[in-house]
Structure 1
Amino acid sequence: MSQTSHRPDNTTPQDTDGPEDAGTETSSTNTGSTDTSGTETADADADSAGDPADPAKPGPGTPPPPGRSWEAVRHLLVRLHFYAGVLVAPFLLVAALTGLAYTLTPQLDQLVYGDRLRVEQVGETVRPLSEQIAAARAAYPEGTTASVVTPPGPEDTTRVVVAVPELGEKQRTVFVDPYTAEVRGELTTWFGSTPLTTWLDDLHRNLHLGETGRLYSEVAASWLWVAVAGGLVLWIGRRSRGRRPKSARGVLLPERGARGVRRTRGWHAVTGVWLALGLLFLSATGLTWSNYAGERFGRLLDAVNGNAPALDTALPGAEAPVEDHAEHAGHGGSGGATADADPAGFDTALTAARNAGLGGTVVVTPAADAASAWTVAQNDNVWPVHYDRVAVDASTGEVTSRTRWADHPVLSKLSKLGVQGHMGVLFGAVNQIALAIVAIGLTAVTVWGYRMWWQRRPTRADRRAVVGKAPEPGAWRRLPLPVLVLGIPAVVALGWALPVLGVTLAGFLVVDAVVGAVRRRRTA
């Protein structure tokens, strides 16, 4: 897949690194390059196919006869990286921009809903939950009390979550001043999220298109790690001048004095290197709670007993125990009783939980029925996290069961922490800043990738094009046999684990094969 540029007559190559860069920095009408590839290798086309005066004599850019070699692995990666960049990059760009907006939700919530989320004045004594619940239910009597969330800080209000049938899976959350039991207002929430956060969350997850729209985010998450890993291999394995391996500086910093496409490629690659860990983290954590890959991940957790331990909410002597399973989706849901619970039960359950050592913010949920216990769950999402849970017999104040965060399996912990980090809450403002940097960097990398594609377009008068050509196909036919023997089953297994990646990759291969067949027929 050696390639040459489409440069005007009487021009000479500049700033070359070696064979892969031949012609990537040549003079042209409007750009610093006349190369035609969207990746870091140049592309052979009709100008370099051979000597027109002697068809038997190969031209300087003619590929060598087919033969299996390890260089074909690099050529295949180049083509895969190119297609990932051109076809999947729009999904990545949308995910980066919507994710950037979502990172600002804590501050936006305070700006928009601050009058409900915060108290007017911090008091000295906190009123019992029963008084706060009574005030909330007096102001909003519809529905049943589903749960109560204690204030995360001294300036925050208590949240009384009310299940209203008309709202479906959403709830009405009433905000109460814990010092005065004054109702500050209410919002229609979704698993504790404000309307603004819910709207931005839906925008990032599915573009407000429902389950069908979730395909966009799963495509982005499925291909992000492929693009990142392929780009790292290509950039780190690239040779510098004199065919020497790149130094650490050459990998981590753009080349001094580079111009045109070389300068764009340097910023594209180096920024990708610096952001690689963050991008791989977002890809992995996004896949664990995606639609199809997330279902495969759930199967894995079931197979290796990696789920969070279930809290036994059956009261002693009850005939039918009811288990309270933790959700994998990353959003804490609220249960609800069939009849409105006695507000005094919330005081009893909270007191028992505090005596059992559950500090910080907790969610108190009434019993589902007379044979079940109340549950109190820690909800401290900022590191160090606290996720202990207890079951309480509200009639006696006795703790009947308990699960500890320390006892969660490793996969359960990694999944939970990964989701919190993906949402930008695990390390507070530092987490938000890191995600914002990664989102802005991914946006820049995507834009630079398209700029390279444009800069590498042919500019000769008889061969102008809007963008550069794709790298030459057929590299897979020259792959070493060990790569084929091991690679094909690995790709099949990967396609099963990540169905959206498998389907889209198969689609790319089919389209690529059809286009290649048409081109060969035209050439013949």
Structure 2
Amino acid sequence: MSVTSATGADRAGPASSPEGAATAPGTPRRRAYGWGPLLLRLHFYAGVLVAPFLVVAALTGLAYTVTPQLDALVYGTELRAEPAGRSARPVSEQVAAARAAHPDGTLSYVALGGDGATTQVVFTAPELGEKQHSVYVDPYTGQVTGQLTTWFGYTPLRTWFDDLHRNLQLGVLGRHYSELAASWLWIVALGGLALWWRRHRGGRGRAGRLLLPDLAARRGVRRTRGWHASTGVWLMVGLLFLSATGLTWSRYAGANFGAGLDALAAGTPELPTSLSSAAGPDSGGGHHGGGPAGAPAVDPAAIDQVLRVARADGLTGPVEVGLPADASSAWTVTQVDDAWPVQKDRAAVDPAAGTVVARSDFADWPLLAKLSSLGISAHMGTLFGLANQILLAALALGLLCVIFWGYRMWWQRRPTRADRRAFVGAPPVARGAWWNLPTWAIVVGLPAVFLLCWALPLFGASLVGFLAVDLAVAAMRRRRRTDGVVPTSPAPAGS
């Protein structure tokens, strides 16, 4: 994931001088390197410069995996209710109890959990922005058990950890770190896999040598590289998954992804809520949609009828009931069970007529919309419950180990002779390796890189930064030569 030393075939020979000197007359024309040196140098720079962002993402993600248990520990009074053989009170009665405890704000939606969970009655207010006031009601007694300021149903603790992972508590500016990490993670992972495969190509028992470190190797770079690379292979699928799902809701790449889904008509389908045939297909009353200020009043007591109609139409399990935007719009009932098998069907209900006026079933969603929804649930650790949390924690710990071994290799490759001592190792191959690619690869590759930079803007910006660093180092070395100072030669790229 970070720094990988070159193989003998990949080492920079005399033909790849650091400054790209011309071949002397009569010298045989140098042979094209292929992809190895380019991958190695890119993997090196990405590992050194992007790995710190990956470390932060792994640590904050690791902390986030335990938020369900922390919620149960910290907010047990608000979140849990004891059935004790009792039947649940009417939901309208629970809403009335919540309104009595919280007279301010606009009622937005009501979340009904499974057995042993309290009912969450959510109110919005202009001063809260994206956040809400949630009042928790014991469905079996009708008593209010607590009140919290939440973010789309998240408790304050879970919201804090979510913000830490997404933006380091820095708001929009902080989101750049996580997008940068996700943009490079898949490139570093696949590049490392390619380099490790090249090292073992043609050898006997290649699969086993790819998956297991060489414990017989002497201590030093070779052994560290074995742990670094083989662990990365084991983590490969999970790291690619985290990268892809993380990018789907990032700031810039996520916007491009959403635009692509819209262009392909592959996004989450809208649920029509208008009760008027003259109105458009969607009045904007989503499952979190409360009525806007000044809208005609909607009687919350109708929620019991709305639930009866929705349950009769097959919407079982935990649901959220959203109030209509106005008197000419339908109520919405949305299944919110993210555990496998997921339940995410939605229905628009007219309580006056006692009918479902529209439905949007998860089974009918476009494939890309399904995959995106399932991927996000798995990324957040909810799809497979505790097993999902354990797997995410293992991925985070494994990634931290891979990064540690990568930096350790960088340190182990440092020159140690008295006349050329350095704190860390030099880049494993000379710059300019991409010029040695076949012409067809350059012709095809450059447009592909530009397209990738457009789709992942922070990847493109950081790639330009890498090139700037490389060119700056080259300029400094040329200046030292001009001043008559011989630069220190890089350390050997092998062990």
User: TM-score under structure 1 normalisation?
Assistant: 0.84
Who is 1:373 aligned against? 330
- Equivalent pairs: percent with the same residue? 59
Please say if residues 38 and 470 of structure 1, whose CA atoms lie closer than 8 Å, have aligned partners that are also in contact: no
Return the offset for 1:172. Answer: 0.6
**In 2: Cα distance, 1:170 partner to 1:66 partner:** 66
CA apart distance, 1:166: 2.4
Residue number in structure 2 paired with 1:359: 316
Q: 1:246 and 1:515, CA in 2 relative to 1: closer, same or farther beyond 3 A? A: farther
Per the TM alignment, residue 145 of structure 1 is displaced from its structure 2 partner at its CA by: 1.2
Match of 1:482 in 2: 440
Match 2:124 to one of 163, 168, 172: 163
Per-residue deviation, residues 29-79 of structure 1 (Å, max 9, x unmatched): xxxxxxxx9422279xxxx989xxxxxxx9xxxxx977352x341001000
Partner of 2:488: none
1:498 aligns to 2:456 (yes or no)? yes
Q: How far did 1:341 drift?
A: 3.8
Residue 54 (structure 2) pairs with residue 92 (structure 1):
yes
Mapped partners of 2:29, 2:121: distance in 1: 70
Structure 1 match to 2:418? 461
- Once the two structures are TM-superposed, the CA of residue 348 in structure 1 deviates from its matched residue by 1.1
Pick aligned residue for 1:293 from 250, 253, 256: 253
Q: Spell out the pairing of 1:434-453 with structure 2 (5 A cutoff).
A: 434-453=391-410
Please name the residue that 1:8 is paired with: none
- 1:183-224 deviation line (CA, Å, top 9, x unaligned): 100110001100000000100001011111100001000000
One-letter code of the match for 1:485? V
8 Å CA contact 1:218, 1:290 repeated in 2? yes
Shift of the alpha carbon at 1:155? 1.1
Trace 1:179-258 onto structure 2 (pairs within 5 A): 179-239=140-200, 244=203, 247-258=206-217
Aligned pair 1:279/2:244, yes or no? no
Distance change in 2, residues 1:455/1:334 (3 Å): farther
Matching residue's letter, 2:213:
P
Cα separation, 2, equivalents of 1:87 and 1:333 = 41
1:18 is matched with none
* Paired residue secondary structure (2:134): strand
Report how far residue 522 of structure 1 moved: 3.0
CA distance in 1, matches of 2:198, 2:204: 7
The alignment status of 1:515 with 2:473, answered yes or no, reads yes
Amino acid at match of 2:134: T
Partner of 2:173, secondary structure, is: helix
1:350 aligns with 2:304: no
Partner Cα separation in structure 1 for residue 266 and residue 354 of structure 2:
31
Q: 1:39 — aligned with what?
A: 4
CA distance in 2, matches of 1:366, 1:480: 62
Question: Hey, what does 2:371 align to over in structure 1?
Answer: 414
Aligned-partner SS, 2:75: helix
| Number of residues of Structure 1 aligned to a counterpart in Structure 2 | 464
CA deviation after TM superposition for structure 1 residue 315, in Å: 0.4
Q: How big is each residue's C-alpha offset from its partner over 1:405-434, in whole Å with a ceiling of 9 and x where there is no partner?
A: 111001111111111111111111111111
8 A Cα contact 1:148 1:158, kept in partner: yes
> Greater CA deviation, 200-209 or 512-521?
512-521
Q: TM-score, normalised by structure 2?
A: 0.89
Q: Which runs of 5+ in 2 are unaligned?
A: 16-22, 483-495
Q: Which moved more, 1:243-252 or 1:101-110?
A: 243-252
Q: In the alignment, which residue of structure 2 is the partner of 1:173?
A: 134
| 1:81 and 2:60 aligned | no
Alignment equivalent of 1:67, drawn from 30, 33, 49: 30
CA separation of 1:160/1:373 partners in 2, compared to 1, >3 Å: closer, same or farther? same
Q: 1:397 aligns with which of 321, 330, 354?
A: 354
- Do the aligned partners of 1:381 and 1:426 also contact (CA within 8 Å) in 2? yes
Return the offset for 1:319. Answer: 4.4
Instruction: Indicate the residue corresponding to 1:11 in structure 2.
Output: none
Deviation string for 1:96-142 (max 9, x for gaps)? 00000011111110011011100145343111100111111111111
Q: CA deviation at 1:309?
A: 1.4
1:386-420 deviations in Å (ceiling 9; x for gaps) = 11111111222211111111110011111111111
Per-residue CA distance 1:305-343 (angstroms, 9 max, x = gap):
0111111101044545534487xxxxx845445466423
Deviations 1:249-302 (A, max 9, x none): 110011022221111111110110000000000000111110000111111111
Partner secondary structure for residue 210 of structure 1:
coil
Paired residues of 2:453 and 2:459 also in contact (CA < 8 A): yes
Pairing 1:108–2:70 present = yes
SS of 1:237's equivalent in the other structure is: helix
Give, as a single letter, the amino acid of the residue that structure 1 aligns with 2:459. Answer: L
Secondary structure of the residue aligned to 2:324 is coil
Instruction: For 1:273, give the aligned amino acid.
Output: V
- Residues in 2 aligned to 1:287 and 1:323: alpha-carbon distance in whole angstroms: 30
Task: Tell me the alpha carbon deviations over residues 355-396 of structure 1, each in whole angstroms, 9 at most, x when there is no partner.
Answer: 110001110011101111111111110111111111111222
Q: Is the 8 A contact 1:275 1:438 kept in 2?
A: yes
Q: How much is the aligned-residue C-alpha RMSD, in angstroms?
A: 2.3
Aligned to 1:267: 227
How far apart are the structure 1 equivalents of 2:427 and 2:464?
A: 18
- Residue from 84, 90, 108 that aligns with 1:128: 90
Counterpart residue identity of residue 308, structure 1: T
